[in-house]
A and B are shown apart, each in its own frame.
Chain A
């Protein structure tokens, strides 16, 4: 099925560094969501975006809804060990179902 594009598959950063993740789509979405998933658990909602151009922060996390409505990015500042996990972007269009990317696995070296 259709999926959003997230790359690279894995990212390795040093504790304290900032990291940016991008997500692109060939389709327009009305809502963009970013989730984090830990092993054996369900995805946890981090940030939700509803308007093109919107920039939203949640603590050390900042995300933006692209002007074209076909992309979004997530920034994590001053990374800490508990930021380790898989980060998924998800979009929804006129209907309610979410389309997910394949996820980016983030590793943080202490």
Chain B
């Protein structure tokens, strides 16, 4: 079946602008995760949804970052007043459930490369 999809694949914006990044998880996966990957680094956790609710948002760097998942499927990561330091690849992953063990095997999308000029 279809994997995790993310749009757009690339986004170039100017400092101070607002951006939205979209994630479509694997059908039937209740848990959805956002990570951010800087060049030469591993992905870093931002936020995790179980269903419609944010179960853990401890990785969001500041209040300019916000994410929603209103119907428990598609999620949107929103970044206000973008800064050059926000430039990175934003990865989305989904898993069958958010609990431990095999149900937490996370499958990643291709990412959105955000560049803030």
* Residues of A that sit less than 8 Å from B by CB: 1, 3-4, 30-31, 33, 35, 40-45, 48, 50, 88, 90, 92, 94-103
What range describes how many residues of B lie at the interface? 20 to 34
CB < 8 Å: which of A40, A43, A44, A94 contacts B100? A94
Write out the residue numbers on chain A whose beta carbons fall within 8 Å of the beta carbon of B99: 96
Q: Which residue of A lies closest to B41 (CB)?
A: A102
User: A96 contacts B95, CB within 8 Å?
Assistant: yes
Top 6 closest pairs, chain A to chain B, by CB: A100-B42, A42-B108, A97-B45, A96-B98, A43-B108, A42-B110
Write out the residue numbers on chain A whose beta carbons fall within 8 Å of the beta carbon of B33: 96-98
B81 vs chain A, min Cβ distance (A): 22
Given A1-B44, A97-B33, A98-B43, A45 and B101 touching (CB < 8 A)? no
CB < 8 Å: which of B35, B100, B110 contacts A96? B100
* Distance between Cα atoms of A21 and B102 in the complex (Å): 23
Residue from the set A41, A42, A102 with the largest chain B CB neighbour count within 10 Å: A42
Given A42-B4, A97-B33, A92 and B44 touching (CB < 8 A)? no
Q: Which residue of B lies closest to A51 (CB)?
A: B101
Write out the residue numbers on chain A whose beta carbons fall within 8 Å of the beta carbon of B4: 42
Residue from the set B4, B33, B40, B45 with the largest chain A CB neighbour count within 10 Å: B45
User: A3 contacts B42, CB within 8 Å?
Assistant: yes
Q: A3-B42, A40-B110 are in contact. List 11 more A-B contacts (CB 8 A).
A: A4-B42, A31-B100, A41-B111, A42-B109, A43-B91, A45-B105, A95-B48, A96-B48, A97-B58, A98-B35, A100-B43
B20 at the binding interface (Cβ < 8 Å):
no
Write out the residue numbers on chain B whose beta carbons fall within 8 Å of the beta carbon of A43: 43, 91, 108
B66 vs chain A, min Cβ distance (A): 18
B31 at the binding interface (Cβ < 8 Å):
yes
User: A92 contacts B59, CB within 8 Å?
Assistant: no
- Chain B positions 81-114 with a Cβ under 8 Å from a chain A Cβ: 91, 93, 95, 98-102, 104-111
User: A92 contacts B100, CB within 8 Å?
Assistant: yes
- Chain B positions 22-48 with a Cβ under 8 Å from a chain A Cβ: 31, 33, 35, 40-45, 48
